[in-house]
Amino acid sequence: MANHLLTARSASLVGKNWPENFVQRTPEVKTKYGIAEEDIYNFDETGFQMGVISGGKVVTGSDRRNRRKAVQPGNREWVTVIQGINAKGWAIPPFIIFAGTYHLSAWYEGNDIPPDWVILLSDNGWTNNELGIKWLQHFDKHTKGRTVGVHRLLIIDGHESHDSLEFQQLCKEKSIITLCMPSHSSHLLQPLDVGCFSPLKDAYGRQVEDLIRNHIYHVTKLEFLPAFKAAYQATFTESNIRAGF
């Protein structure tokens, strides 16, 4: 917007110090909430197809290699992970959404899933407004005790479940200020997209490749959880999170 106004005045465009200089010469512009760096968070969701390594690879039995018409791809069941991170370099426990109706104890046996991870269900493995509220309650639970100031800043995108009326009302009750990024900008502006999700997907793909080498060709929830856990712990590091911010 500043460049647009300056162009109309035939003036030079803004430089890297323009925002700081603008604030200094415009005293009516103030930080309304005084939010500390320790209280700045970003959250977003990312999806996995359980048996898909990357955009062009699926997990399938090698015995089906020459049966083109009968080939069954690897499991493409969708899983959504809602993830939050803090500007100081730490992560809120993952919030995982499986497709299904009932939890099965077999999913967790022997997987040593951390007790603060949340696993919920939806019909298709996607998030919705109700689950968005549950994530916000999860966020509040794990951040309210670490709040330095009065308010927490939560950087979001424009997804409906991230910005519903109920979501905003709960934010107001919990003194959470939401900052919505401009449309089509998350690949540049969102810390999770910039620093965390890409290496997470790559690391998960390597976990699935390890399963293939061990002759496991169909990835279910039973295999997904330990594979995701290993990928998550390898990539959601302080350095990756801080680099994203």
Residue 153 is assigned to a structural domain of this protein: yes
CA distance 30 to 58: 52
CA distance 221 to 79: 9
Give residue 167's pLDDT: 92
- pTM for the predicted model, two decimal places: 0.79
User: For each successive 10 residues of the chain (245 residues), what is the average pLDDT?
Assistant: 88 89 81 87 92 63 48 69 97 96 83 92 93 96 96 85 83 94 82 92 92 85 93 97 94
Amino acid type, 85: I
Give residue 91's pLDDT: 98
Question: Residue 160 sits in which domain range?
Answer: 34-244
Residue 7 is assigned to a structural domain of this protein: no
Which CATH number covers residue 169? 3.30.420.10
Rounded to a whole number, what is the largest CA-CA distance in the chain? 72
The number of distinct structural domains making up the chain is 1
Residue 93 is assigned to a structural domain of this protein: yes
**DSSP states of 29-43:** ---SS---GGGEEEE
Query: If 0-12 CB within 10 Å is exposed, 13-18 middle and 19+ buried, where does residue 24 land?
Result: exposed
Give residue 65's pLDDT: 53
Contacts of 138 (CB under 8 A, 6+ apart): 92, 93, 95, 118
Give residue 71's pLDDT: 34
Residue 16 is assigned to a structural domain of this protein: no
C-alpha neighbours within 13 Å on the C-beta side of residue 176: 24
CA distance 97 to 131: 9
Residue 28 is assigned to a structural domain of this protein: no
Residue 118 is assigned to a structural domain of this protein: yes
Residue 98 is assigned to a structural domain of this protein: yes
**DSSP states of 131-197:** HHHHHHHHHHHHHGGG--SS-EEEEE-S-GGGS-HHHHHHHHHTTEEEEEPPTT-HHHH-HHHHHTH
Count the neighbouring beta carbons within 10 Å of the beta carbon of residue 215: 8
Residue 15 is assigned to a structural domain of this protein: no
Count the neighbouring beta carbons within 10 Å of the beta carbon of residue 36: 16
CA trace torsion 94, 99, 100, 101 (10° rounding) = 70
The Cα angle at residue 245 between residues 153 and 53, in degrees rounded to 5: 110
Give residue 219's pLDDT: 86
